């Protein structure tokens, strides 16, 4: 359990979620130096791929050469997360760092649950049974699927990004449902705004946590 009081003594786990191209990586890159300037020790990481083993699993997951069954895909993501939690996230929190993670379990619920159609409770129970750290705060950068994809124009699409629009639409709606279930933790930010405005809102939320 990571308490929100006396933040410099215990870690804080902040995740960034949302569909492709919503701006997760952009916002983390702006936030990390600001937190460091304010005297915090920060760990920036991402999924899938925040460890050496995870990078190999990421290659399998995103390769157009495979079309794994949805159960296989889920378990590959969870295997990647197991390595990431034990090697990066948990140690970071135990060292009292602010861990900024680009995608985490909400992505699994949105993509494998709402997107692929695996049963939500089953996926969520796996997470609970594994006893992985739950984020203290999550920013859901929400924008229409078309807006996200327009921003990725010019980048070659990986296997997941290449899925049909209807899939990404379900994922977006899935994220929004998750935010409704946990409004205290998941802050929805309109990601069609300018990069600067989004960053201002993120910093405002973070200041409310005393950082
Ligand atoms: N609010 C914004 N307005 C306009 N362009 C943006 C905004 N946020 C990010 N971008 C641009 O959109 C592109 C995608 O942003 P970014 O890589 O941060 O998204 P992402 O959510 O990390 O995507 P992915 O899920 O593919 O990793 C980048 O070129 C970035 O500069
Ligand atoms: Mg990114």
Domain regions of the chain by residue span: 12-208
Look at residue 3 and give its three-state secondary structure: coil
201 lines ligand 1 (CB under 6 A): no
Read off the pLDDT of residues 152-201 as tens digits, 9 standing for 90 and up.
988 888 888 888 999 999 999 999 999 999 999 999 999 999 999 999 99
Given the CA of residue 103, which atom of ligand 1 is nearest to it?
25
What's the pLDDT at 155? 85
Instruction: Please state the pTM of the whole predicted model.
Output: 0.94
| pLDDT-derived band at 10, boundaries 50, 70, 90 | low
Selected residue with higher pLDDT from 109 and 5: 109
Does ligand 1 have an atom closer than 6 angstroms to the CB of 187? no
Residue 22 beta carbon below 6 angstroms from any ligand 1 atom = yes
Question: CA–CA distance from 115 to each of 24, 166, 210 (Å)?
Answer: 19, 9, 36
DSSP state of 4: S
Rounded distance between C-alpha atoms, residue 137 and residue 141, angstroms = 13
Q: What is the pLDDT of residues 81-115, one digit of tens each?
A: 999 999 999 999 999 999 999 999 999 999 999 99
Alpha helix (H) residue ranges in 47-104: 52-62, 70-84, 90-94
Tell me the residues surrounding ligand 2 (ion) with CB < 5 Å: 24-25
The CB of 78 under 6 Å from ligand 1? The reply is no
User: 46 alpha carbon to ligand 2 midpoint, in Å?
Assistant: 8
Query: Using CA of residue 111, residue 115, residue 118, residue 122, what is the dihedral sign?
Result: positive
- From the CA of 107, which ligand is nearest? 1
**Ligand nearest, relative to CA of residue 26:** 1
The verdict on domain 12-208 having CATH code 2.40.100.20 is: no
Q: Which atom of ligand 1 is nearest to the CA of 194?
A: 1
Q: Find the ligand nearest to 200 CA.
A: 1
């Amino acid at each position: 359990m990571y308490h929100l009081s006396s933040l410099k003594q215990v870690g804080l786990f902040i995740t960034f979620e949302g569909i492709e191209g919503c701006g997760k990586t952009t916002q983390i890159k702006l936030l990390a130096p600001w937190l460091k300037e304010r005297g915090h020790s920060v760990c920036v990481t991402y999924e899938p791929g925040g460890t050496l083993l995870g990078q190999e699993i990421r290659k399998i997951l995103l390769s157009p050469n495979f079309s794994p069954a949805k159960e296989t895909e889920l378990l590959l993501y969870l295997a990647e997360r197991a390595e990431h939690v034990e090697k990066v996230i948990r140690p970071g929190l135990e060292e009292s760092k602010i861990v900024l993670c680009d995608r985490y379990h909400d992505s699994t619920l949105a993509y494998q649950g709402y997107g692929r159609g695996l049963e939500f409770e089953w996926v969520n129970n796996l997470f609970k049974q594994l006893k992985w750290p739950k984020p203290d705060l999550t920013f859901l950068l929400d924008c229409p699927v078309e807006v996200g994809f327009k921003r990725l124009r010019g980048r070659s699409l990986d296997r997941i990004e290449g899925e049909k629009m209807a899939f990404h639409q379900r994922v977006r709606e899935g994220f929004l449902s998750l935010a409704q279930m946990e409004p205290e933790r998941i802050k929805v930010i309109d990601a069609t705004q300018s990069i600067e405005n989004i960053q201002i809102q993120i910093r405002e939320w973070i200041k409310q946590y005393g950082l």
